[in-house]
Structure 1
Amino acid sequence: MTGFPADWLADPAAPATDVELALLLVNSHDLLEDPADRLHDLRWLTHALAGAGHPHLADPLTARDLPRLRRLRDALRQVFEATDDEEAAAVLNPLLQKARAVPLLVRGPDGATSLVVGAGLSGAAALEARLPSALAGFVAEHGVRRLGVCGSDPCRCVYVDRTRAATRKYCCSYCNDRRAARAYRRRRSPGLA
């Protein structure tokens, strides 16, 4: 398990985007999993980053990075919980300033030039620069209305709403189905929850 249900990724065949990596990190604390906090060591994250097409991000990580990653996870969760763009900016701007997240034009091995944040950084420092930058770009383009927290209690996983009408309420089809089954049982048997 990489930590990505199939409906978390825009293109499951391609490496995860930095916004999707932010989802992965935030959802490393999942109340429906045992243990709920999968960042108790690096094994899960190493496996998840490799499964997401970014094994190079895990290579320089050490156990000393875990507290930094947990702090980053907690801060990024606040962006998904934000009720407006200003609230998201109040979280993201200090993260961007602290990480010195400066975008640079970089020529890749294929000869293509791309805009890269955190070029030359590795490990936790790269994640601290890249993930807030990706979410900041997403909020600037789409607003926080396209980010959310799963509406199926007790799940608290976050999601990116890619629906045309911005109507997504659940992190994955499992939670959507679980919520629908609960509603069906409630309609069929008013005494049951």
Structure 2
Amino acid sequence: MYGARPACDLDLAVALVNTAQTPAGPLDRLTTMSYFQGVLAGFAEHRLAEELSPCDLDSLRRLRHQLHQVFLARTRADTVPVLNVLLRQAGAVPQLRVDRTGEVYLEWGSDRCGAPRLAARLSGAVAEFVAGQGVRRLGVCGAPPCGRVFVDRTRPGNRRYCSEQCNDRASAAAYRERRRSG
């Protein structure tokens, strides 16, 4: 598997992608850097939040779009070219690191700062996940019209919804449909 840092970066990639406007969701939330700095603070990424400036918003939106393409892909063959472009653009060169527990993990973008560091870390974490788990555990919510993305960490690998709320909403809609046709 991989250490705690890449797993956190994978969750941060999901959080970045989910800042986009979805059919059922709010407007694009990546309109100010202060919003995304708040997201980073939620991941205890205070130093990285300080490195970002409003000038980085366009590059974060491009990164978000490219990462979203990975979640939409259904095969590794579709995903690999997108990730390779992301890794190349970010200049993502991994370094081996040892955490406090002695676990070894890859750190991406350690020689960068700000948006380039974030791009390297997130694309690296997603690439590691796809290489190890494939794309079937990267998903888009199956509750129309949600559209948010998620990482399926369930044991059987059959997660279909981004949240319990969407799961409940889809279940209620299916129940109403059965009652109507039944």
TM-score (norm 1): 0.84
Q: Which runs of 5+ in 1 are unaligned?
A: 1-10
1:189 corresponding residue in structure 2: 180
Query: Counterpart amino acid of 1:166?
Result: G
2:69 corresponding residue in structure 1: 78
Residues 26-54 of structure 1 show CA distances to partners (whole Å, capped at 9, x for unaligned) of 001142333x2100111221111101221
The answer to whether structure 1 residue 17 and structure 2 residue 8 are counterparts is: yes
Determine the C-alpha separation between the residues in 2 that align with 1:158 and 1:111.
Answer: 31
Residues 139-164 of structure 1 show CA distances to partners (whole Å, capped at 9, x for unaligned) of 00000011110111111110111112
Alignment partner of 1:46 out of 30, 34, 37: 37
Query: Counterpart amino acid of 2:9?
Result: D
2:170 corresponding residue in structure 1: 179
The answer to whether structure 1 residue 136 and structure 2 residue 127 are counterparts is: yes
How many residues of Structure 1 are paired with residues of Structure 2 in the alignment? 177
2:161 corresponding residue in structure 1: 170
Residues 127-186 of structure 1 show CA distances to partners (whole Å, capped at 9, x for unaligned) of 111111111100000000111101111111101111122111111111111111111222
Alignment partner of 1:33 out of 25, 46, 49: 25
2:152 corresponding residue in structure 1: 161
Q: CA RMSD in A?
A: 2.3
- Measured after TM superposition, the shift of residue 114 of structure 1 is 4.7
Q: Which runs of 5+ in 2 are unaligned?
A: none
TM-score (norm 2): 0.88
1:55 corresponding residue in structure 2: 46
- Measured after TM superposition, the shift of residue 107 of structure 1 is 6.2
* Percent identity for Structure 1 against Structure 2: 47
> Which is bigger in relative contact order (C-alpha 8 A, separation at least 6)?
2
